[in-house]
């Protein structure tokens, strides 16, 4: 699943004003052609995401005979010809096979991940002894131990163990092992989705989100399914982990579209947490509360919280027949049942409360017994929830105006100042 890439910069283009008698010099020629390049780049960034167009395979080779003997080892790879396009819309053309040696070494106590990437090189920024009339746009191959940047296109990665002298081709292309070429994270050129949803889980009950049976693991499956079921929306696979008191911190409030809360204990926020959550919802964020089959106390506390926020929750049955939770992008009349229990959805003021076994059908159950129809239905209803949250945030941000920080004291602060005064 590709990560979202930045949209084109919001800045005007400089266009050459042509008149009779205009003298064309190098600067004016550059302005004229840069305009078309930038316009093409904006068009590409607006409609597409970067990635590989074709080719750019990678394979292990023997060390070339013309390299010094100390470098003739099993760390040589060959990049095959191909084409990619970077985040700015620049074409990366590799016209012939290129040999490359992996030089990174893992520390003695732990493995490292090595990334092999290609990136576009503007020929006008290269230092040349001579300035030919025609120059080729070119590229560079880099080996890194940090995640690729936006302008780089990943070719492969390798989980490199200490003291490795021989790399290997993957024995299972879908499950490569350490020291083997890993091509699973290559991104193909694809249309840019209309919206991207980023989710963070709110930890408040001490549960372990990495446990196999934790609901957040099922949420990961839901985010992965979006690309296939509804490409106009893209889910970011990395689910953040936050505490409620961190919600008001910048840039947290502007980073995540949805805060996911699950459990059984009631939610009792402090005054600071209440204020932070209210500000987050005012900016268009959504609190998605999954009470499951047994979170009655959590559901009751959320209903009370919504009352305190002056945005009481209403069941979906009481909302308009054309409400987006019921119609966009998938159409639901009666809400489905999971584990023989009906699904309930409550909405109001940026809070979505779901009760029932919906999230249990987002992922794979332990016995692998859920039928495909159940999984697909759960995913479609889950996508409706995320689409609603993402659309709501987008529309509210269009009318939201940042306010200067308030100097007014909260009642709790005023009381504290009186006590210490």
**DSSP for 295-352, written as a single string:** -HHHHHHHHHHHHHTT---EEGGGS-TT-HHHHSSS--SSPPEETTEE-EEEEETTEE
- Cross-sheet strand order for the sheet of 112-121: 138-144, 112-121, 152-160
CB 310 within 8 A of CB 350: no
Q: Report whether pLDDT(192) > 70.
A: yes
pLDDT digits (tens, 9 = 90+) for 321-334: 999 999 999 999 98
Work out the mean pLDDT of the chain and round it to a whole number: 88
pLDDT band at 250 (very low <50, low <70, confident <90, very high): low
Q: Which of 306-310, 345-349, 362-366 has the lowest mean pLDDT?
A: 362-366
Convert the pLDDT of each residue in 121-134 to its tens digit: 988 777 777 777 77
Domain ranges of the chain: 50-124+138-189, 195-399
Q: Which of 160, 162, 156, 215 is nearest to 182 (CA)?
A: 156
| pTM of this structure | 0.83
Cα–Cα distance for residue pair 421/418, rounded to 1 Å: 5
**Model confidence over 266-312: pLDDT tens digits?**
999 988 889 889 989 988 999 999 999 989 999 999 999 999 999 99
| CATH class belonging to 195-399 | alpha beta
């Amino acid at each position: 699943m590709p990560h979202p890439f930045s949209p084109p910069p919001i800045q005007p283009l400089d266009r050459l004003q042509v008149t009779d008698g205009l003298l064309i010099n190098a600067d004016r020629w550059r302005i004229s052609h840069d305009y078309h390049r930038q316009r093409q780049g904006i068009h590409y960034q607006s409609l597409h995401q970067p990635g590989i167009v074709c080719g750019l395979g990678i394979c292990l080779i023997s060390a070339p005979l013309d390299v010094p003997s100390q470098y003739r080892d099993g760390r040589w790879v060959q990049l095959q010809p191909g084409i990619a396009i970077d985040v700015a819309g620049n074409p990366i053309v590799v016209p012939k096979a290129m040999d490359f040696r992996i030089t990174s070494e893992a520390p003695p106590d732990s493995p490292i991940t090595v990334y092999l990437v290609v990136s576009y090189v503007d020929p006008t920024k290269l230092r040349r002894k001579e300035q030919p009339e025609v120059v080729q746009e070119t590229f560079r191959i880099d080996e890194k131990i940090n995640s690729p940047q936006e302008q780089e296109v990943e070719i492969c990665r390798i989980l490199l163990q200490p003291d490795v002298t021989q790399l290997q081709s993957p024995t299972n292309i879908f499950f490569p092992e350490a020291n083997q070429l890993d091509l699973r994270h290559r991104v193909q050129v694809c249309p840019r989705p209309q919206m991207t949803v980023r989710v963070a889980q709110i930890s408040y009950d001490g549960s372990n989100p990495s446990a196999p049976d934790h609901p957040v693991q099922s949420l990961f499956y839901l985010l992965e399914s979006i690309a296939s079921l509804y490409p106009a929306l893209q889910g970011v696979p990395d689910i953040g982990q936050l505490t409620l008191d961190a919600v008001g911190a910048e840039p947290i409030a502007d980073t995540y579209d949805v805060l996911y809360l699950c459990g059984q204990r009631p939610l009792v926020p402090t005054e600071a947490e209440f204020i932070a959550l209210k500000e987050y919802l005012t900016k268009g964020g959504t609190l998605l509360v999954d009470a499951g089959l047994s979170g009655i106390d959590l559901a009751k506390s959320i209903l009370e919280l919504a009352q305190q926020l002056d945005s009481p929750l209403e069941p979906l049955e009481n909302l308009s027949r054309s409400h987006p939770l019921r119609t966009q992008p998938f159409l639901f009349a009666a809400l489905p049942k999971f584990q023989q229990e009906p699904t309930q959805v409550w909405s109001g003021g940026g809070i979505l409360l779901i009760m029932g076994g919906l999230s249990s059908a987002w992922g794979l159950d332990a016995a692998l017994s859920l039928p495909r129809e159940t999984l697909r239905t759960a995913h479609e209803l889950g996508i409706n929830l995320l689409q609603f949250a993402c659309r709501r945030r987008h529309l509210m941000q269009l009318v939201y105006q940042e306010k200067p920080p308030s100097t007014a004291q909260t009642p709790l602060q005023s009381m504290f100042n009186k006590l210490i005064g």
